[in-house]
Structure 1
Amino acid sequence: MTHSLVDPQSLPVELRPYLEDLVQRTRAVCGSHLVSVFAVGSIALADYRHGRSDIDVAVITDPALPADAVRELAQSVAHPALPCPAAGLELVVYDAHFAAHPSDAAGYLLDLNTGPLLSNRASFDATQAPAFWYVIDRSIAYQTGRLLFGSPVRQVIAAPTRHDLLTAILASVREHTDGDGHLADNQVLNGCRSVAFCRTGSWLAKREAAQLIAASEDEFRPLIETALRSFQRPRATAFALPSADVRTFLLWVRERIEESII
């Protein structure tokens, strides 16, 4: 069997066959237009938790990829056509010209959410999506993206500017504060990761970031430690953290980010 993955031994063992199939299907659809495939999110940050984490993947193609191939790719890798072993797959396709330049836009050709615990959704219009998630993902990709296939990550994707990234982080915290459907432990841990980035200039795994913030912020330590314990559990059995405490913490997070932007 011909293997497509650059370094399968560096990936979570539960995901290796799936990512192999994902890359092979992407190659079959995109052909010579495929430039790179790499993992971002929890895989890139070495913090993947099976049964809890999503699989986050970015695909870079040359700008000549036909639009019908993008739609074919969405169908080919969607669950259950390609059964996802994780909570879900979040796959984003960018053309290489867009990816090579810093941007505060979403900029994707395809944004696919699919999997056992995600509602199937395929978007082909980047102007209809809030940009901040994509800016953050591209920053994580530039820092520690895990190459699965093709050209090295930093040869094909540019890091956002610091101002654009901090603005995106602030927007993400506002979404976690006021938006619906977020797990409480994830709200807290993403807040920790946002403050940790402002302090260190690097993306840390959620647990590492939470430990950093808990060590320095006595007021929030009990909430953060409870969020960490909840994060060890499957999504369906996550703890229901006190909503008022979560909101107070996220408002504090917003203030720290606003101080960094100024």
Structure 2
Amino acid sequence: MELTARPRAGRDDTGAMSPVPAPPREVRAYLDELVRRTRAVCGPHLVGVLAVGSLALGDYRHGRSDVDVAVVVAPSLPRRALPDLAGALAHPALPCPAAGLELVVYPADFAARPSGEAGYLMDLNTGPSLPERVSHDPRESPAFWYVLDRSLAHQSGLPLFGGPAREVIAAPERPAVLAALRASVREHAAGEGHVTDNRVLNGCRSVVYCRTGRWFAKRAAAEAIAADEEAFRPLVEDALRSFELPRESALPLPAARVRDFLTWAAERVDEAVEAEDGRTGPR
């Protein structure tokens, strides 16, 4: 499997700074206003705002993708500011032009160290295609979502305010990421609440991460799996075609083939976990 990671902002091999890519034009004004409102609420306690997910990997699809954002604040932020921030950013108070906004607020001391925990101060889901949700208790949510998001953020986070992603969010250690991937693949295999094409593409990206140790956009990962795994090529290609459509127009994919593929993906993740356990010994 040959994949080349998309160039990201940050220091190159010579130590020089590479340019920071601009967010897609469809969401640029929205992100500017999101940062402005976040700064207004958090004031001097705001450490950083990062675009993550498809925005960070250069694979945002308008009408299909969510806007994923990580906010890092000083531990001194008054807790009463969090409901104010949720109110300021919730759709339609701030109309979301994407399918939805998934925004997570982390304390800076937690974000700065590797962790396999959720660790958030606030998790906000809002937007025209997302069920409204605000959580202030990380025990309410499976930790794997946040471990994977922070891993991707450390690698490829797009700074909207504050310093480079690698200076704001630490990378979870590989065993924690693999354990989170194992949970993620099983979540998508269950299927509840997930568009079928996204379940397949998530499986592709999970396998590619296990093989490369890098995060790639879902479409790039799916193309690599389609090239390498002939048995699953028709399903993955159908998932890619469906992914070009809005969520409500997603194509039906054969349930048995999806189940077989996700079982295969789970086995590849299990192999990576076992290999890692063999390298590190009992923990």
Do they fold alike, i.e. is TM over 0.5? yes
Distance 1:176 1:45 in 2: 21
Distance 1:9 1:218 in 2: 35
Matched, 1:199 2:211: yes
Matched, 1:130 2:142: yes
Distance 2:191 2:170 in 1: 29
Contact 2:204 2:221 survives alignment (8 Å): yes
- Report the counterpart of residue 96 of structure 1 in structure 2: 108
Alignment partner for residue 180 of structure 1, among 192, 212, 217? 192
The one-letter amino acid paired with 1:98 is F
RMSD across aligned positions (CA): 1.0
Q: Which moved more, 1:69-78 or 1:149-158?
A: 149-158
- Report the counterpart of residue 5 of structure 2 in structure 1: none
- Report the counterpart of residue 3 of structure 1 in structure 2: none
Matched, 1:105 2:117: yes
Distance 1:247 1:133 in 2: 21
What pairs with 1:139-218 in structure 2 (closer than 5 Å)?
139-218=151-230
Superposition misfits of 4+ residues, deviation over 4 angstroms: none
Identify unmatched segments of 5+ residues in structure 2.
1-18, 275-283
Distance 1:219 1:183 in 2: 22
Alignment partner for residue 238 of structure 1, among 245, 250, 262? 250
- Report the counterpart of residue 72 of structure 1 in structure 2: 84
Contact 1:8 1:16 survives alignment (8 Å): no
- Report the counterpart of residue 57 of structure 1 in structure 2: 69
- Report the counterpart of residue 13 of structure 1 in structure 2: 25
The Cα shift of 1:153 comes to 1.2
Distance 2:59 2:98 in 1: 14
Q: Deviations over 1:192-250 (max 9, x none)?
A: 00001011111000110001001110110000000000000000000111111101100
Alignment partner for residue 34 of structure 1, among 46, 52, 77? 46
SS at match of 1:56: strand
Distance 1:115 1:76 in 2: 13
The Cα shift of 1:9 comes to 6.1
Contact 1:195 1:256 survives alignment (8 Å): yes
The Cα shift of 1:159 comes to 0.3
Identify unmatched segments of 5+ residues in structure 1.
1-6
Distance 1:233 1:140 in 2: 25
Q: Deviations over 1:240-261 (max 9, x none)?
A: 1111110110000000000001
Distance 2:162 2:122 in 1: 19
